[in-house]
A and B are shown apart, each in its own frame.
Chain A
């Protein structure tokens, strides 16, 4: 019997995992929502677009090309199913939706390489048209050759902040301001760790230097107070390092505070989680080489732990080698050791990034009562605090039941981290005490008909 290995996510981790399994003679299935492989970081532009790799991916052009050609070279060795959403998991079966139709797919082993999205901290005005995540602003440019506005203000604390501002300016888009909430002293403190990863740390410095040379000042220790506008963004008010408030006129805001793992399928699979205090988020517990607490379920890439695309490629390959070990196939020990060493090196760089782009969680904990915290259900921070202090919600799942925070279409992907901070603040307890928002199927919206079809097909109804 040939093991049926399924990989979810066709970014750098998923592609390298597929390549590794294919090289061992397995024919893995690779599932992804997007029309083409590459993930978010190496997302390919639609067919009629003509921009060269250098324009799209800058310094990472060679890496993007390598990931794309690695996959394209596999030809029929991988069962790639594009535009396919995995919306549930029942035991050893996945529920898929493709072009509106549903199908269940069984697996023996599953590698979850589901990637990450921006972590955000709500503030007044953040639901206005014209406010997007930093990653979203990048997708608009990379995938659609569009800027999110005439003049964009870039705000937050994230490696994406200098990078996306640079990409926008470079592409000819208007940059109204670049506001980093982290003090400059923290950037300097992180330098030794950042520069340990030779080229990668230097890129960030290059972006900041390039922006400065164009008169685009990169401001440290600025705190966004509110986004202004009636029907769309007209400006953002920032408290500058000296304490003075400043209004920056703009028609778009790109905001983000690092990334958060997309780990809903691991949650449905019953995998154990652990709280990663270094960047204040729950991550899937694993043994460091991809094995989760559930036999046959593996994780890799930014969906497992946030450490960027280079580590994701390595972790994808590593998880596939772990799968091969577990099914008794020979693996190249020298290669395994090399991967483990390189990942350890990137971990040092990641610690540097977490200092250089610190997560200002107090902004979430202290947000005013009137701020919309959950944008799906328009639940305010005050309503969440009320659920804790007046109704006795002792964690985020109880708070969700009482006031619908995190109950909307995104299932708390967007508001979850900030809601946990608000709840921990109201409980006057450490953030871990707020607990982890539990996922449920379908992990993304699917038509009712899809649920019915899938239930009829499963012995255990959804």
Chain B
């Protein structure tokens, strides 16, 4: 069950009464809610979305409206998606680092 995790960046303020959707983030199970976008799911579970390609540290999105392009992640099927505009779907397997694969 996803709660407003101690380590999560976001705080849910309402709309709890939605069906749960199980996804995975870097291989770890994570329960999001129907209607969540991936950026929310990632930031309720943690504080990082990806790493800067230039070595200046973690990033976690910025504009939430598809403009800044700072929240692109990978799905295990090879697709790249922008987390702030991509709704969670059952069994979505998100990878926050390039080239990682999840066994099983």
Contacts and interface: CB of A to CB of B under 8 A. Distances in A.
Nearest to A255: B62
A40 B65 contact: yes
Contact of A148 (B9, B53, B66): B9
A173 B11 contact: yes
Interface size class of A (residues with CB under 8 A): 35 or more
A265 interface: no
A117 B56 contact: no
Nearest to B56: A378
A171 interface: yes
Interface of A: 33-35, 40, 45-51, 100, 117-118, 127-133, 135-137, 139-141, 143-150, 171-174, 231-232, 251-252, 262, 372, 375-378, 408-410, 413-414, 444-445, 447
A171 B11 CA distance: 11
Contacts of A139: 64-65, 84
Interface residues of B, number: 47
B35 A146 contact: no
Given A48-B35, A49-B35, A141-B13, A409 B69 contact: yes
A131 B43 CA distance: 12
A232 B8 CA distance: 11
A131 B62 contact: yes
Interface string B2-30: 00000001111111011100000000000
Contact of A144 (B37, B48, B58): B37
Interface of B: 9-15, 17-19, 33-37, 40, 43-44, 47-49, 52-70, 72, 79-80, 82, 84-85, 87
A50 B87 CA distance: 17
A135 B65 contact: yes
A375 B62 contact: yes
A137 to B, nearest CB: 8
B14 A145 contact: yes
Contact of B67 (A51, A144, A252, A262): A262
A397 to B, nearest CB: 20
